């Protein structure tokens, strides 16, 4: 990663001074540095970076604006430093109270997707601030980088087979067991909806099943939607609707990042990761509007729209996961545009019937600067995806409450898990932010990891 944590050049590293708005006098600077700041109109504006010159013309240090003291330090805003500082070793001269967030922000802000020729950002070494767990911050940054890289990779290089390869690589790193059920073997394994959604693709549909940790430990299962490209199927999307569909495997990418954090921290639990990896394509054998599919759970599903395919593959995977009655079952998916309409791209909704879990997630979201918002599993809406020929339809026809309807659909396939939550993530930054450039993004996993660590660590 372009920004790494290293104590090797701690005291020799150049200082970064954090400056609250209009509070330059409180920072330990030389008279010349303070005069330079004033000459450049620097008064601690939020996110502004000012380099400090040395007598020989080199860079001696930097100032970083915190903004108004009453507003507080935006935790990950230090990511701007990663794109503003010259390469070399740096240290936080006066770390803010949440120094771990400042360090993480710098590491996340230094990300660049370089697989196709774009140049990397400059290499910066940051001395870990006192009290900061460098190993933890590094594993979080590695997880976010993994998620971003997977989502940013175009579908011609990130189909079901390549998503399987990425999963195998992660499993090998952490000595996890992994098995794959692919193609027509899905029918024999009673995973018919995963097969139906993915069978039209040249790359066979598959279920990725990763297991790690002692069997006697509490079981945590993660399920991620791995639709590597979504044309919409026979209910084809318009061209504009397909532009970002390489990111429709963002749920799978996020659960792999979360799995890395759990395994790297060696949390005392039994982890299972299930990823239905498919491409929703168009071919002579594509599933059709009006088809009725029988799910793993035995529930029959009429296809009201082939573009509501994510909930179909998740339903089979959730039913499989639920059979083991895990302590905690989490699913993540780039599932509905309705979630974006309701809350925008930065604030993923989550759904759960477990009020205790919801409270823990809300607290963790604030602590981790990883925003989440609980939305209701409003049972009166259950009838809105009814069918006259099957048990249920895969979509509702009135266009209302789309994210809630999708969550209610998934809830039908969970019954034995002690606690379940569904996260409808966007997985994308529409524009550059201090801690993340435009492109693929990890969402919710830093908050979820805090909750899992607190519950089982």
Positions marked active-site: 237, 311
Residue 409, classed as helix, strand or coil, is helix
- Do the beta carbons of residue 278 and residue 160 sit within 8 Å? yes
Residue 332, classed as helix, strand or coil, is strand
How far the first Cα of the chain sits from its last, in Å, is 27
Farthest CA pair distance, the chain? 81
Angle of helix 355-367 versus helix 445-456 axis, rounded to 10 = 120
**Helix count and strand count (H, E) for the chain:** 14, 20
Q: What is the DSSP letter of 350?
A: E
Q: Which tokens belong to 321?
A: 């996961």
- How far apart, in whole angstroms, are the C-alpha atoms of residue 74 and residue 367? 12
Please provide the DSSP assignment of 48-89 as one string. -EEEEEPTTSSEEEEEEEEE-TTT---TTTTHHHHTTSPSEE
- How far apart, in whole angstroms, are the C-alpha atoms of residue 271 and residue 98? 30
- How far apart, in whole angstroms, are the C-alpha atoms of residue 248 and residue 224? 10
Q: Which tokens belong to 336?
A: 């509905």
Q: What is the DSSP letter of 229?
A: E
């Amino acid at each position: 990663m372009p920004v790494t944590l290293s104590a090797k050049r701690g005291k020799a590293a150049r200082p970064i001074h954090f400056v609250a708005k209009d509070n330059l006098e409180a920072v330990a600077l030389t008279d010349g540095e303070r005069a330079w700041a004033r000459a450049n109109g620097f008064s601690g504006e939020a996110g502004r970076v000012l380099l400090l010159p040395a007598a020989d013309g080199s860079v001696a240090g930097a100032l970083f604006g915190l903004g108004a003291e009453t507003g507080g330090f935006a935790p990950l805003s230090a990511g701007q430093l990663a794109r503003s500082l010259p390469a070399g070793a740096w240290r936080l001269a006066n770390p803010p109270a949440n120094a771990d967030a400042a360090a993480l922000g710098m590491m996340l802000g230094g990300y660049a997707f370089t697989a196709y020729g774009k140049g990397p950002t400059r290499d910066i070494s940051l001395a870990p601030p006192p009290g900061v767990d460098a190993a933890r911050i590094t594993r979080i940054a590695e997880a976010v980088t993994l998620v971003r890289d997977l989502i940013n990779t175009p579908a011609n290089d990130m189909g079901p087979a390549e998503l399987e390869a990425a999963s195998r690589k992660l499993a090998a790193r952490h000595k996890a067991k992994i098995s794959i059920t692919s193609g027509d073997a899905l029918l024999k394994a009673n995973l018919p909806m995963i097969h139906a959604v993915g069978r039209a693709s040249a790359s066979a549909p598959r279920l990725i099943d990763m297991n790690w940790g002692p069997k006697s430990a509490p079981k945590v299962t993660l399920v991620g939607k791995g639709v590597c490209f979504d044309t919409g199927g026979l209910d084809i999307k318009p061209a504009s609707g397909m532009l970002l569909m390489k990111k429709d495997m963002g749920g799978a990418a996020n659960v792999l990042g979360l799995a890395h954090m759990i395994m790297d921290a060696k949390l005392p639990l039994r982890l299972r990761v299930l990823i239905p990896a498919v491409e929703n394509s168009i071919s002579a054998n594509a599933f059709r509007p009006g088809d009725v599919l029988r799910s793993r759970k035995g529930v029959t599903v009429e296809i009201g729209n082939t573009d509501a395919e994510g909930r179909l593959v998740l339903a089979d995977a959730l039913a499989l996961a639920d059979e083991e009655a895990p302590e905690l079952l989490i699913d993540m998916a780039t599932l509905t545009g309705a979630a974006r309409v309701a809350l925008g791209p930065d604030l993923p909704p989550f759904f759960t019937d477990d009020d205790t879990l919801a409270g823990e997630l809300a607290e963790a979201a604030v602590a981790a600067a990883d925003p989440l918002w609980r939305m209701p599993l409003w049972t009166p809406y259950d009838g809105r995806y009814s069918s006259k020929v099957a048990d249920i339809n895969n979509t509702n026809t009135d266009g209302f409450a789309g994210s809630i309807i999708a969550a209610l659909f998934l809830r039908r396939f969970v019954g034995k898990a002690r606690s379940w939550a569904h996260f409808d993530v966007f997985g994308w930054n529409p524009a550059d932010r201090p801690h993340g450039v435009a492109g693929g993004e990890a969402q919710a996993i830093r908050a979820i990891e805090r909750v899992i660590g607190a519950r089982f660590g």
